Structure 1
Amino acid sequence: MNRKKNLRLTGAIALISAVAVTLAGCGRGGDGSSGGAGGESTGITDSTVTLGITTPLSGATAGPGTCTVAGIKAYFGAVNAAGGVKFGDGKTRKVEIKALDDAYDPQKAKSNYDQLKGSVFAMTSGLGTPTNRAYREAAIADKVPQVLVQTGDPIFDDAKQSPYQLGFVPSYANEGEAFGKLLASSGKDLTVAILSQNDDYGEGYVEGFKKGIEGASNVKVVKELTYEATDTSVDAQITQLASTHADVMFNAMSITPLAIAALQKAQQLNWKPSWFLPSNTSSPEAILKPGKASAYPGVYSVSFAKAPQSPAFAKDADVTKFLSDLHKYAKYKGTPAFPHCMWSYMVGATLEQAFQKMTDPTRDSFMKALRSISDFKAPLMLEGTSVNTTMDGQPAVSSVVVQKYNGTGYSTVDSLG
């Protein structure tokens, strides 16, 4: 008799356990990811939220890659020291950052994502088109937000195709078009030589540039060449382009050593056109000074961030706080040579806006909040630019201003001079 009672008791316990498991499954986050207590998504608790970054911390792009981590660590380091972020659900959380080195290698980026996805709430800030693309489909399938990443590839801005993704920096086409419009509006007859990276990065810049000069009879492209991101020299391409004696060099290049070498080679050939560089390879300290860019009649780029190196911002309140946070919380020495430090600081501020708006500790609630930010003036933003995540097909920042190198930093211009 006692044996039968024990069997019935065992069966009842088993049934209760089964029901408990079922209810636990129902308590998972609404985004389908594995949850924790209270139904929150992976990577978030009542006291913390963890963000993942895969970015180049070694290799040729380590300079800007290191900045993609330093800026966001600086921003949230200061926020955490002040007590944390008060989320829309009423809880205050500290923000933790997990960053891994991918050396600008897509395979390593995918491996890093696989390592991080089980412990982070979202992926963010990482540099590079090929590296961000490497885990894009996996992130979509896993419903892990891949947001405010530092690539101008428009594939990340299609909310219908990938609702868990969003780029941060202006698209390559936006940058290229801004410079094209500057040339078209100059009223001068100009010839243009183009050297671009042979991938989506380079193609995007060239596509935007050609859109900017469309219908402009005063601007003519006389030669186009490409290079591979793995190349160690572009001397041959610069030599061919120099033979055109073009007035303008449009250089859609993402590799720091090659950008410097291109500037130097053209001078060796006594070819000194006006020069355009993308925002991510336009650093005065890291690229223009070693490339002796002052030898050219004008070196132009586009920007949306205040540059700490510029005398115009030496006493700017945003810049002063940014540098203080960067040194104190990211242990970054000196003044950053790359804009990516400023960009990732802005990424932190934009994420905080979304955190403050999300009403549930889930990725779905986060993405809804993130896509509702309009005309947010993040710290360090230039006049005329803002964060706007409400426009489908556009990154968080789509507005830029054209600037000209003045020997130490950049000055905003509205004409080719």
Structure 2
Amino acid sequence: MGFNPNYFVEGRIYGQYILKEHPNAKIGVLYQNDDLGKDYLNGIKAGLGDKAAKMIVTEASYEVSDPTVDSQILKIKDAGADLFFSATTPKQAAQAIKKIAEMGWHPIQIVDINATSVGAVLKPAGLDAAKGLISVNYGKEPLDPTWKDDPGLKKYFDFMAKYYPDGDKDSNFNTYGYSTAQLLVHVLKQCGDDLTRENVMKQAASLKDVTSDTALPGIKANTSATDYRVNKQLQMMKFNGERWELFGPILEDSGPAG
């Protein structure tokens, strides 16, 4: 059972967002040539529906072993795209953001949730270059002053100070690790003394409105025997040059998982 939102579902949410906010966009997609990238690509097409063929003007894939994605970025720009969707992982996401800035190109940029770490992606790319990026989240950003007095994040910071003092407490990779571990503890407690695989799976597949210290307000985990998706709710966010800022309502995708 995956903790992160299903990539197809996340892609579909971006497609729906684009239809609503940028209905005349010419979309260029950069995607990793594996299941991750293809799930995002198929998801955004599902979200765009019958407009996908017209709105997506080009697609460019890369291999994880490729040294750069420069040629793919040039291809997408030359196709006339004015909205860039980056279905990538941290290294290539940073390369793409940096290359776009160096070219003086200014498309609307959407990056997937894997590429939102300020420390691992946006700082290497250049914070100025990353300004205006759009993505989604389901967890609190440690750098966001909105949560400076938040009891849940205080517990997270206390945990980091005690158990991982050398770790980057501001990294959403670490809040992710903390929240998945917290959910595992919840499941194990629900199991009581019956720690068989069968019971662990039964408890994990019957979560009801479970939240965590780092979950955004209103976001709860619900699973069933026919729906293993832990996170189906997301909120849009934009990078302001220093940190991510949330905007809009909590979005819940109730469609098929892909």
Q: In the TM superposition, what whole-angstrom CA distance separates every residue of 1:185-212 from its partner, at most 9, and x where no partner exists?
A: 1154111100000000000111111111
Residue 60 of structure 2 is aligned with which of 225, 231, 240?
225
Q: Is 1:275 matched with 2:129?
A: no
Identity in percent: 27
Q: Which residue of 1 aligns with 2:14?
A: 179
- The alignment yields a C-alpha RMSD, in angstroms, of 2.2
Alpha-carbon offset, residue 403 of structure 1: 0.9
**4+ residue runs of structure 1 moved beyond 6 angstroms?**
none
1:267-302 per-residue CA deviation (whole Å, 9 max, x = no partner) reads: 222211111111121112332233235446731111
Q: Are the structure 2 counterparts of residues 286 and 213 from structure 1 closer, same or farther at C-alpha, using a change threshold of 3 Å?
A: same
Query: Once the 2 structures are TM-superposed, how far is the Cα of residue 244 of structure 1 from its aligned partner?
Result: 2.5
The one-letter code sitting in structure 2 at the alignment partner of 1:372 is S
Whole-angstrom distance in 1 between the partners of 2:175 and 2:122: 18
**1:249 pairs with 2:78:** no
Deviation at 1:405, TM superposition (A): 0.9
CA distance in 2, matches of 1:333, 1:199: 30
1:170 corresponds to = 5
Matched, 1:234 2:69: yes
Determine the C-alpha separation between the residues in 2 that align with 1:378 and 1:202.
28
Residue type at the aligned position of 1:356:
K
Amino acid at match of 2:140: K
Cα pair 2:117 2:173 within 8 Å, conserved: no
Aligned counterpart for 1:199 among listed residues 19, 24, 34: 34
Letter in 2 for 1:388: N
Against the structure 1 CA distance between its residues 275 and 186, is the aligned structure 2 distance closer, same or farther, given a 3 Å change threshold? same
Task: Please say if residues 353 and 373 of structure 1, whose CA atoms lie closer than 8 Å, have aligned partners that are also in contact.
Answer: no
The C-alpha deviation readout for 1:315-357, integer Å capped at 9, x for no partner, is 22211220120121123334333x2211221112211221222
Contact (CA 8 Å) 2:132, 2:241: kept in 1 or not? no
Aligned to 2:255: none
Assess if the C-alpha contact under 8 Å between 1:192 and 1:219 holds in 2.
Answer: no
What secondary structure does 1:263 align onto? Answer: helix
* Residue correspondence of structure 1 range 354-369 to structure 2 within 5 A: 354-359=187-192, 360-369=194-203
Confirm or deny: 8 A CA contact 1:198 1:228 kept in the other structure.
yes
1:240 offset after TM fit, Å?
1.1
Shift of 1:245: 3.4
Gap change, CA 1:194 and 1:398, over 3 Å in 2: same
SS across alignment from 1:250: strand
1:349 aligns with 2:179: no
Given the alignment, which residue of 238, 246, 254 partners 1:412?
246
Q: Distance in 1 between matches of 2:132 and 2:124?
A: 16
Could you say what secondary structure the match of 1:213 adopts? helix
Q: Residues 122-150 of structure 1, C-alpha deviation per residue, up to 9 Å, x if partnerless?
A: xxxxxxxxxxxxxxxxxxxxxxxxxxxxx
Normalised to the residue count of structure 1, the TM-score between the two structures is 0.56
How has the CA–CA distance of structure 1 residues 213 and 391 changed in structure 2, closer, same or farther, with 3 Å as cutoff?
A: farther
Alignment partners' CA distance in 1, 2:23 and 2:130: 18
Matched residue count: 248
Q: Distance in 1 between matches of 2:161 and 2:21?
A: 42
Distance in 2 between residues matched to 1:293 and 1:248, nearest whole Å = 19
TM-score normalised by length of structure 2: 0.88
Rg larger in 1 or in 2?
A: 1
